[in-house]
Amino acid sequence: MRKITDWGGFVGLSILFILAGCRGQETQPATEGGNDMTIQITSSTFTEGGKILKIYTCDDQNVSPPLAWTGVPSNTMTLALIMDDPDAPSGTWVHWVLYNLPANLTSLEQGKNGGGTDGKNDFGKPGYGGPCPPRGSTHRYFVKLYALDSNLDLKSGSTKSQLVNAMKGHILAQGELMGRYGR
């Protein structure tokens, strides 16, 4: 009998220790790959999870949406941006690769690259290529901004893969904004 009671006490104490270890975790910043997700990205034309307007897609003017952000660390040397669609039938489709943006930049105007270097999207072109999902489907489009501790030694027209490799070990903070578009 005594062994069962001792075992019950052990389980009870174990649960208390586990719960105590979980306290305070809610206030920790979200991380992805060990990097703080402290950058807050917004757009004046769509909200998180909201609908991306037709003007920013292949069905209309196909210009990049206006974006703004806060929370870039003061020791940032440069910024990089990737927009992609993980719902594409052939796998993640890259819509925008932009890097070596000035660290003091806090927004991008509609259709502008902010003085950054345009990479190549999966349409095979430099710069922005808007949402263009297959008819009858709605896809998610993730705009990701990275604060980096160095300028990147990449040529114009570099791909997402080349950018991601160049950013390894240099990401200070990052943020994400997701919008949806359907046809």
What is the chain's pLDDT, residue by residue, as a tens digit (183 residues)? Answer: 444 445 455 444 444 334 344 333 333 344 445 555 689 999 999 999 999 999 999 999 999 999 999 999 999 999 999 999 999 999 999 999 999 999 999 999 999 999 999 999 999 999 999 999 999 999 999 999 999 999 999 999 999 999 999 999 999 999 999 999 999
Backbone angles phi, psi at 41, to 5 degrees: -105, 135
Q: pTM for this structure?
A: 0.81
Give the C-alpha distances (Å, rounded to integers) separating 94 from 16, 142, 156. Answer: 46, 10, 16
Full domain range(s) for residue 148? 30-182
Cα distance between residue 169 and residue 93, in whole Å: 24
Identity at 156, one-letter amino acid code: S
* CATH number of the domain within which 70 lies: 3.90.280.10
Q: For the chain, how many structural domains are there in total?
A: 1
Cα distance between residue 63 and residue 127, in whole Å: 10
Can you tell me which residue has the tokens 């072109």?
125
Residue 83 token pair:
């927009």
- Domain-located, residue 3: no
